[in-house]
Amino acid sequence: MGNVNLPDKVKLVITVFSQDKKRIEKVKSILSKRFGLIDYESYDLKLITNYYEDELGPNLVRQFYAFKKLINRDKIAGIKLYTNKLEDKFRVNNKRIINIDPGYLSLGKFILTTTKNQQQRLHLKNGIFAECALRYKNGGFATWDWTYPDYATEEYRKVLNEIREVYFKQIR
For residue range 22-46, what is the model confidence (pLDDT) as tens digits? 999 999 999 999 999 999 999 999 9
4: in domain = no
125: in domain = yes
Which pLDDT belongs to residue 54?
Answer: 86
pLDDT band at 49 (very low <50, low <70, confident <90, very high): confident
Domain residues for the domain of 129 are: 11-171
Q: How many domains does the chain have?
A: 1
15: in domain = yes
Which pLDDT belongs to residue 78?
Answer: 98
3: in domain = no
Give how far Cα 73 sits from Cα of 6, 77, 124, 135, Å.
10, 9, 10, 16
For residues 114-125, average pLDDT: 92
